[in-house]
Amino acid sequence: MSVLVAVSPLDGEPYFDALSRIPGLTVWREGDDPPPGRVEAVLAWRVKDGFVGRFPNLRMVSAIGAGVDKIVAATDLPPSLAVTRIVDPNQGVEIAQYVVAQALRVTRDLPLYAQQQSRAEWRRHPVRPAAACRVGILGIGQVGQAIARAFRPLGYPVAGWSRSVRTIDGIECFAGEAQLPAMLARTDILVCALPLTPATRGLLNRAMLSRLPRGAMVINIGRGEQLVEDDLRALLDEGHLGAAALDVFEREPPGPDNWVWRHPKVAATPHIAAQASYDEVARQVADSLERLRRGERPRHEVDRGAGY
């Protein structure tokens, strides 16, 4: 079996090392210029048009994580080519940790106390009651439910929204476009955990975010292309939104002059909410390739029409 690691050299080396430890697997970096006919699988973050056509015996392309939007965006993927994603159960836990940490930072006024510390100022402020920290999660799949489970012991009311009707213990569920305004109206902390699809691109725009109560917080751990950054900035500057925590951006990394780096109401992090284990990525890629060689479908294969 053979795999080509088509990830930038700086980021791709750990994946190359993990795959190289699997017996019977030949692994190349993209810069190694492997024989095109020997490449059976590609591990990548992004695939551009014209790339997969270089490899006549390619069986699959695997993402390095759960998101595949930058792979299925290629217009020349053969219908028979399997596209897979990585499902690491620890990622849901890590993302939930990140979201809760960002929410607590704001709801417990930690930036305010940090400012007071810098002035040697001893001043207490009332603690915001849990009932005033209503969480609304866009997307209540595996990750969204992990986030909900993390919030519940803290006493924060949790609601979730999905395209289709779902019933989940401990979550007030909303579904479809008709129920989205109602979910937004009761949400003080909006968390986007949706996959990127044509329907979710630009979803977090001024019209939608304006439906949140005044002073609400936005946390985006979905995809940067789902958020209209200029609309967010305007609502923060106007005071309608109180804070934002962004781990994903339309352009990664944002340019050095991007406003998110310096805005006092924004916490910007470099796509670190969660990362699949390198060894788990390697194991799942090798398992999927072995299944395809046996004529079976791989685990975690993506519905390319749905985009996830």
Query: Which residues are marked as active site?
Result: 223, 271
Nearest to 204 by CA among 192, 189, 188, 216: 192
| Greatest distance between any 2 Cα atoms in the chain | 69
CA 206 to each of CA 203, 212, 292: distance values in angstroms, whole numbers, following the listed order? 9, 10, 45
Question: HSE (CB half, 13 Å, CA atoms) of 126?
Answer: 4
Type of residue at 83 = V
Per DSSP (E only), the strands in the chain are 2-6, 26-29, 41-44, 60-63, 82-84, 135-138, 158-162, 172-175, 189-192, 216-220, 241-246, 266-268
3-state secondary structure of 300: coil
Distance between CA atoms of residues 215 and 122, nearest Å: 25
Which DSSP state fits 189? Answer: E
